[in-house]
Amino acid sequence: MVYDRPSSESFTGRVEAPDGTIYLVVMEGWYWNSLDWIHENTEWNDRDFIRMAWNCANQPSDVIGDTRSLQSRFIYFFKAHIYYHMTDILNKEDGIIDDNINI
């Protein structure tokens, strides 16, 4: 697969949540390219990120301190998990293995 989406342009993709709801998610090409690369080169796949994002988004808003809609929280956590996982991979390739480096 070619990871040819321009990293700074936005692209829309369909993401199906565990409850069957289909969300149209708009993310920069970097996220979509990273998701494709992770899927092809690691044991992770799209469903892993969707499940983690869904679990985070469904936490009570007073626990996570986020009162936005479920859809907004889901998309936020979906992007966050892709970002943190990909930067963790890149950091490890660069010899940085401190789990707190992305904070």
Per-residue pLDDT tens, the chain, 103 aa: give them: 567 788 889 999 999 999 999 999 999 999 999 999 898 888 998 999 999 999 999 987 776 677 788 899 999 999 999 999 988 888 888 887 765 555 5
What is the three-class DSSP state of 39? helix
Contacts of residue 89, Cβ cutoff 8 Å, sequence gap at least 6: 38, 42
**Residue 27 zone, left/alpha/beta (φ > 0; ψ -120 to 50; rest):** beta
Asked whether 64 and 56 are in contact (CB, 8 A), the reply is yes
